[in-house]
Structure 1
Amino acid sequence: MAALPQIDTIKTPDAAVVQAARNARRARFNVPFVVIVALLVSYGLLIVYSAVRVDADYSFTRQLAGVAIGLVAMLLVWRFDYRKLSDFVTLFLIINVVLILSPHLPVIGVEAKGAQSWIKIGMQIQPGEFAKVTVVLLDAAVMARYGGHLNDPREYCRALGIMLVPFACIMTQPDLGTGLVYLFIAAVALVMGGARPKYLLITLAAFVAAVALVFAVDEVIKAQTGEYKLLQQYQRNRLLVFINDDFDPTGEGYNLNQAKIAIGSGGLFGQGLFKGTQHALGILPEAPTDFIFCVLAEELGFVGVVVLLALYAALILICFNIARSSNDLFGMLIVMCVVGMWLFQILENIGMDCGLMPITGIPLPFMSYGSSFMVVNFIMLGMIGSVWSHNNASLGKRG
């Protein structure tokens, strides 16, 4: 009788291999991070819809388009290995200069609200917003070269000089709000990158002295020419309103007073979603952008504000954990620069709406209206996701 052919036994995957595959998938997908982002973006879309539905100057469809484009950009950036970008300091510097100065080009440059900050290429976009991405990469790449210890004063001045180039470019528009964001990103990079505290204190003192000098020189210029040249009148008014909220009651002071009324009228639970009156009646200016927090506070009250702050806190804590787990300084600096940027924007926007900070027009992350702003924030999320996934890719090997 002929022997039956031998059948190979089917081998089941080793438990260690299965666990390694699970770890690899987990490394690519940070569930808490994605869930918090989804909740925050959804919350923002809900409030933006309430703010723009009665204002023909804004389009909710455009905001949705910004989210859709941002999601695609985030996924692409997330998959890209950020470590390949650590040596391109010069390239990032050039990109920043080109982006920020592009609104000055005569064909595509567009002036709006007293600033040359926009370009029109089929659609109107704000290059200074997109430059925040390359500012983060530039500052992180600059400081990563020093390995966490920047003790040489000449190297410190060199690094600081490179980081100040985007600020100098944005002030030619001028866009002080975005410029302050650039400065704060640079400050985070210097602190987290290991610059000596003595150099940081000297820089801070020099910055304060420079601000005082600008005001003093501008007063001299006005005495001779009859008008301010270094600072726009509206910028001065915003600072004066911050000092005395009774100043300019029909201008910048009016904006602040209406913002406070909207926040105060929300009470504990708010007037109800889509039932806010300050923005619906056109009393609260720039409600979908600068004062979106006031819309939230008026309609959902203190409880709605607590929910927003809780979402922000959860996102920041998750990002801190990602930065701490990073295997290289460049990745850690990217995450911390993005977190620092968000924190500054959150504190400044909410603070200015409450009268605790000067009004600067800085938008609220994931909440304020603006497709360019939304796309940029999603790209930042992708960068953080890239740091997470490429620093945890070895989980599968460790089993």
Structure 2
Amino acid sequence: MAKKVRKVSNFANKQFDFILLITVMILLALGLIMVLSASSPSSLSETGDDSYVYFRKQSGSALLGIAAMLFLSKVDYRFYKKFYKIAYIGSIILLLMVLIPKVGVEAGGARRWINLGIQFQPSEIAKIGMIIFFASYLSDHRKELNGIKNGFFKPFLILAPVIFILLFIQDHLSASVVMILIVSVMMIIAGCKLTYFLTVGTVGVGVGAARIICTC
């Protein structure tokens, strides 16, 4: 028991990766500056005298995100592995809920939001779920990642496309692209062969271009 307590204490006292922390803060600051620049005219037009409405809302979300980051950084990353199946299945369920009438909220011709008393985009939660799931999958199959079955076919052409297709149906092309990039980078870093991704990537670019043309 004492050893377990000591391990938890040692982990909690570990220092942050300051390079990563500074990078995140810089990107966050740039994002807030862009939000302020893009939203000020609309905010001023809607309120008449306040050009910081959307900036304040986004800043509040940023502060909550920082607090969550600091808290979760104290949790042993191996703890999340216990929930990798729940993360995957939960992501699928949330994305399916978008398609349910009166639950999914349509705006601008796209259905990307869920209204459960509060409105949120399930794609944002699905990104975290996919990271947890694929980190666990790649860790469990790290000795088999050079093969086409467990190193490409199963994760990228069977498991991941379920999420990609649901986002595609929602006309959420940007989230689809981000999700594909996240999974691809994780798999390549883990040791999967780059040639597989180059081949499928070429086809994916063609499909994405066709989708954009068809929606114009």
Which interval holds the TM-score relative to the shorter structure? 0.7 to 0.9
Structure 2 residue aligned with 1:68: 63
Paired with 2:12 and 2:146, the residues of 1 have a C-alpha distance of 41
Paired with 2:204 and 2:13, the residues of 1 have a C-alpha distance of 49
Paired with 1:24 and 1:89, the residues of 2 have a C-alpha distance of 22
Paired with 1:89 and 1:76, the residues of 2 have a C-alpha distance of 20
Q: Quote how far apart the aligned CAs of 1:90 are.
A: 2.2
Structure 2 residue aligned with 1:298: none
Paired with 1:109 and 1:83, the residues of 2 have a C-alpha distance of 34
Residues 139, 185 of structure 1: 8 Å contact kept: no
Q: Which runs of 5+ in 1 are unaligned?
A: 1-22, 219-230, 239-251, 253-399
Q: Quote how far apart the aligned CAs of 1:210 are.
A: 6.2
Structure 1 residue aligned with 2:28: 41
Residues 95, 123 of structure 2: 8 Å contact kept: yes
Letter in 2 for 1:116: R
Structure 2 residue aligned with 1:342: none
Q: Which of 42, 58, 63 is matched with 1:55 structurally?
A: 42
Paired with 1:104 and 1:166, the residues of 2 have a C-alpha distance of 14
Letter in 2 for 1:45: L
Structure 2 residue aligned with 1:101: 96
Q: Which of 133, 138, 153 is matched with 1:138 structurally?
A: 133
Structure 1 residue aligned with 2:146: 151
Q: Quote how far apart the aligned CAs of 1:178 are.
A: 0.7
Paired with 1:153 and 1:143, the residues of 2 have a C-alpha distance of 13
Residues 101, 170 of structure 1: 8 Å contact kept: no
Residues 164, 176 of structure 2: 8 Å contact kept: yes
Whose radius of gyration is greater, 1 or 2?
1
Paired with 2:144 and 2:96, the residues of 1 have a C-alpha distance of 33
Paired with 1:71 and 1:213, the residues of 2 have a C-alpha distance of 37
1:189-204 to structure 2, matched below 5 A, reads 189-195=186-192, 197=193, 200-204=194-198
Paired with 1:95 and 1:154, the residues of 2 have a C-alpha distance of 25
* Coordinate RMSD, CA, aligned: 3.1
Q: Quote how far apart the aligned CAs of 1:173 are.
A: 0.7
Paired with 2:105 and 2:129, the residues of 1 have a C-alpha distance of 22
Structure 1 residue aligned with 2:199: 205
Tell whether 2:113 aligns with 1:113: no
Q: Which runs of 5+ in 2 are unaligned?
A: 1-9, 47-52
Identity of aligned residues (%): 26
Q: Which of 14, 37, 40 is matched with 1:27 structurally?
A: 14
Residues 110, 120 of structure 1: 8 Å contact kept: yes
Letter in 1 for 2:179: Y
Paired with 1:52 and 1:92, the residues of 2 have a C-alpha distance of 34
Q: Quote how far apart the aligned CAs of 1:91 are.
A: 1.8
Larger helix percent: 2
Residues 138, 163 of structure 1: 8 Å contact kept: no
Paired with 1:148 and 1:178, the residues of 2 have a C-alpha distance of 30
Residues 285-327 of structure 1, C-alpha deviations (whole Å, 9 max, x = no match): xxxxxxxxxxxxxxxxxxxxxxxxxxxxxxxxxxxxxxxxxxx
Structure 1 residue aligned with 2:49: none
Structure 2 residue aligned with 1:236: 213
Paired with 1:49 and 1:214, the residues of 2 have a C-alpha distance of 30
Residues 129-148 of structure 1, C-alpha deviations (whole Å, 9 max, x = no match): 22111111112111111225
Residues 88, 141 of structure 1: 8 Å contact kept: no
Of structures 1 and 2, the one scoring higher in RCO (CA 8 A, sep 6+) is 1
Residues 94, 122 of structure 2: 8 Å contact kept: yes
Residues 148, 194 of structure 1: 8 Å contact kept: no
Q: Which of 68, 72, 78 is matched with 2:73 structurally?
A: 78
